[in-house]
Structure 1
């Protein structure tokens, strides 16, 4: 007699398998962090570690410092990104296609590389600092502290606002702008009264993304903060410092960070879901030829901003070919920096970056495609949970993820600490959302009737997915995968926590060389990373068939 139970479908099994992976590598480490934050050395439950943080100014002042830096950087990024988006959408700027590429490159480069490059330019012994000191007979203190951190973060983050606002402006009906002009409104009045209100939801959403990114970064304030210590720096020093480390206190700090980033994430989701609206661009905004002063000012502003934003990348490329003595450059051309990093003991760092990155990106593509298919084609309570869990590693800072991994996987049966596996897993789950989102968007455009027709002709649902759906998704999947690749090879926050001498990657090597004042080697490593990002970006444009970087 046959059982009346319906057999488990292959898709349900896949859902359980992926859900299990994320429970092990996302939920379990985070729950362990929460547990450690309230457990005392004697095993009792207490909130003493949280009380310790909020009772001492030395600790809570770092949180205030982080908010100051983050708010200032977000405001500057929002204003700069908005102006850049409007100018490039409304005025024909010569070479705008290449300017777009340079803007993206400045965004994709890790912030701490920008910090290191600005030290070379505006540090106490920086190139520009020496020139200014000699011309004005002063002794400038350099870029260090609050102002320097804000400068680096703002120049590195405004492209994100620019990309989002540029996309919003593309969908804006320009007839509203023309009507205001016919009523006598000036350019400033039209921008302030019409453009800004229409793009405000997008501006706020992108600004919140900048806020989350800046708040969790520790590389930049670690390099140029000096006495201005931020919360991520405190977290790193409490967990990885040479003296006075406290694992339970570090866990409490992680919980505070998670709470703040979750609040910002849900706020961003609220703005994205509740305050956005569709604009029907019956007459889309098009860039027009400007004349006179307006044309000169538009070109000068755009070129100046892009030049300053890309200056860190240009600096590291140039200095990678200069001879160094200690922390100073002699000005002599040399290839010694590249010979140093290509020595067998150092070349492993480059090999690790590409090897770990390629393995991670393969996992990202396979799991990302399956997750996007499940959430779009097989919606259920389980797939909804899965979709949320895949976004969680993107929300929380990389340093928190790294610390939680060391807590969770430093003993049997899952002894992964110190291995390449733990690095690859962290890279994979941290950067998977890019591929999932692009795959979800493309699968939403594929009619289910195509798969249904294949099944009705006798093929299995899985074979239909592999032979029909996946090939149709591939362009969108590859676009997201390339963006995931660019961001994962630039990952520092989690890698600096998880690496060993055998698993060091490019970003960790750059950071270590800067700390040791081996600026020549750091520049050479940075140049390889930058060139890799540029080539990957060009491949992205080729695959997507679009040079428009708007989101």
Structure 2
């Protein structure tokens, strides 16, 4: 056994020495690796470490478990923990159920207008999640449109609390489940379903015996994603929570309200644990799933010919869900033109005048900071994807895990971490624009890394090897060969980083200042003050800017792809 261990250590040592020699021969590559390690250590690991350490510091200069003993012994702290888990599980179940029906209708049942349904389902993705909460207040609040017109001033149900949050978060996060499950269902070849039916199984039996079991990995993945989003949600519970307290808001209030930083940090750590578990379980499940359908035929997923009554039911479900999305977003649009919501619904442009006269500074700050963070996030994401996918060096898998870690960390935890880490020596960034930019960059970094890794797996390594054989080093090969092929993934990462930066709230609310503020914080302030019409106008303006940016980036991507194809033809 000792001989085997010694042989293994010698082998590892020789491999490490060989890798170091190769890196020393390519100083640019070595500099990239060192830079990435420093950035990840400083802006991913260090803030999380500060949150953890602060939670074990009941008083300055002391260390112990007193804070956690207090939290787990008092009902005041236990209630938000159970509420958060209850809300996360409920929203995940409803979100996956609705997302599965919607995805099956679009991917397998071939319902009419499926492209229209698919487009509408993405609306909540490109808007701040708390816009749905604002619409719920406009419709079902105490001065809501439905409350006054249909129910005589008495709300049909209490929108502030658990069920209000379930409705709002389900509507806001079911698109995540839909997109995940649509891809899963499209990957299931129709040949298996047709074979099942040819053997005498009904379409209903085929669904339960073939289609649904093969889609289980996607179901679990979607469930974990929606669960994590609900657990990490901050804006909706802050707006609609009422007496239903959750961890993200409780941690925020402990720090900003009671100024009990150790207690807020401990609540953030407790919030972090289930989201990390969900993240790693999802990755582990997907990495080892054996639900693979391999045939020698063309891989096409054709729509099943369902009975008219079944297709009719699915179409009605899609129409109801689409109508709900239109109702919520249409209410926000209508509310943005009213004088005083709940009192005077006459139309006016005063709210938009208010946006451009008194709140435009918030919009300009948001645009400015997001525009700086977006290219940095895109470039850094592609760089890390290239390193972990194409280069062999010590700690490569750890680098990939750390770059994806912010995806699993709730924004509240990130915000508290940055507040604690960069509010003291040696690096004081609190109150500056840089700290907001850094939050934007490293919160959205995982999407850029994942997109880059997925794109690199589709590029044959022999292309890069040919470039190296012709005398180019890694740096030249990356810029002249690999990066042009990664442009579609790069622009996807840019778009995601821009949208998420423009709509961010949970992390940045801890680091904004009087000099640098954001439009999302302004919207939440307007809702808290009861200025619902102004909040609706601010939300619509923000969504409009995001939609314009989306079309511009899409146009740039198509144009770039065309130019690249043209150059290949010319060569």
The TM-score normalised by the length of structure 1 is 0.92
Whether the aligned pair in 2 keeps the contact of 1:357 and 1:489 (CA below 8 Å) is yes
Structure 2 residue aligned with 1:11: 29
Higher mean C-alpha displacement, 533-542 vs 482-491: 533-542
Q: Is 2:238 aligned against 1:238?
A: no
Identify which of 134, 138, 143 aligns with 1:120: 138
Give the length in aligned residue pairs: 536
Deviations 1:158-217 (A, max 9, x none): 111111111111111223323433455444433223221110111101110111110011
> Distance between the aligned counterparts of 1:408 and 1:317, measured in 2?
40
Q: Is 2:267 aligned against 1:249?
A: no
Question: Which structure 2 residues correspond to residues 10-409 of structure 1 after superposition, within 5 A?
Answer: 10-41=28-59, 43-134=61-152, 140-183=156-199, 185-241=201-257, 244-280=258-294, 282=298, 284-287=300-303, 292-324=308-340, 328-343=342-357, 345-409=358-422
Q: CA deviation at 1:139?
A: 5.3
Structure 2 residue aligned with 1:487: 500
Question: Which structure 2 residues correspond to residues 498-537 of structure 1 after superposition, within 5 A?
Answer: 498-537=511-550
- Check 1:4–1:307 CA distance in 2 against 1; reply closer, same or farther (3 A cut): closer
Identify which of 413, 419, 444 aligns with 1:431: 444
Deviations 1:230-258 (A, max 9, x none): 111111110111xx320111111122122
> Distance between the aligned counterparts of 1:433 and 1:160, measured in 2?
16
Q: Point out where structure 2 has 5 or more consecutive residues left out of the alignment.
A: 1-20, 559-571
Question: Which structure 2 residues correspond to residues 412-491 of structure 1 after superposition, within 5 A?
Answer: 412-491=425-504
> Distance between the aligned counterparts of 1:490 and 1:27, measured in 2?
24
Deviations 1:124-173 (A, max 9, x none): 22112223314xx9653441211110011111111111111111111112
> Distance between the aligned counterparts of 2:469 and 2:40, measured in 1?
34
> Distance between the aligned counterparts of 2:322 and 2:136, measured in 1?
15
Deviations 1:490-521 (A, max 9, x none): 11101111111221112111111111111122
SS at match of 1:323: strand
- Check 1:328–1:132 CA distance in 2 against 1; reply closer, same or farther (3 A cut): closer
> Distance between the aligned counterparts of 2:100 and 2:553, measured in 1?
25
Higher mean C-alpha displacement, 219-228 vs 257-266: 257-266
Deviations 1:244-274 (A, max 9, x none): 3201111111221222222221211222122
SS at match of 2:101: helix
> Distance between the aligned counterparts of 1:257 and 1:403, measured in 2?
12
> Distance between the aligned counterparts of 2:39 and 2:355, measured in 1?
36
- Check 1:200–1:139 CA distance in 2 against 1; reply closer, same or farther (3 A cut): closer
CA RMSD of superposed structures (Å): 2.3
Higher mean C-alpha displacement, 405-414 vs 71-80: 405-414
Whether the aligned pair in 2 keeps the contact of 1:129 and 1:142 (CA below 8 Å) is no
Whether the aligned pair in 2 keeps the contact of 1:105 and 1:534 (CA below 8 Å) is no
Whether the aligned pair in 1 keeps the contact of 2:231 and 2:271 (CA below 8 Å) is no
Q: CA deviation at 1:540?
A: 6.0
Whether the aligned pair in 2 keeps the contact of 1:390 and 1:433 (CA below 8 Å) is yes
Whether the aligned pair in 2 keeps the contact of 1:181 and 1:190 (CA below 8 Å) is yes
SS at match of 1:342: helix
Higher mean C-alpha displacement, 367-376 vs 106-115: 106-115
Whether the aligned pair in 2 keeps the contact of 1:364 and 1:481 (CA below 8 Å) is yes
SS at match of 1:331: strand
> Distance between the aligned counterparts of 2:553 and 2:387, measured in 1?
25
Whether the aligned pair in 1 keeps the contact of 2:85 and 2:231 (CA below 8 Å) is yes
- Check 1:46–1:528 CA distance in 2 against 1; reply closer, same or farther (3 A cut): same
- Check 1:238–1:115 CA distance in 2 against 1; reply closer, same or farther (3 A cut): same
SS at match of 1:449: helix
The TM-score normalised by the length of structure 2 is 0.89
Higher mean C-alpha displacement, 529-538 vs 189-198: 529-538
> Distance between the aligned counterparts of 1:406 and 1:138, measured in 2?
43
Q: CA deviation at 1:379?
A: 2.7
Q: CA deviation at 1:50?
A: 0.3
Q: CA deviation at 1:450?
A: 2.5
Structure 2 residue aligned with 1:548: none
Whether the aligned pair in 2 keeps the contact of 1:103 and 1:159 (CA below 8 Å) is yes
SS at match of 1:227: coil
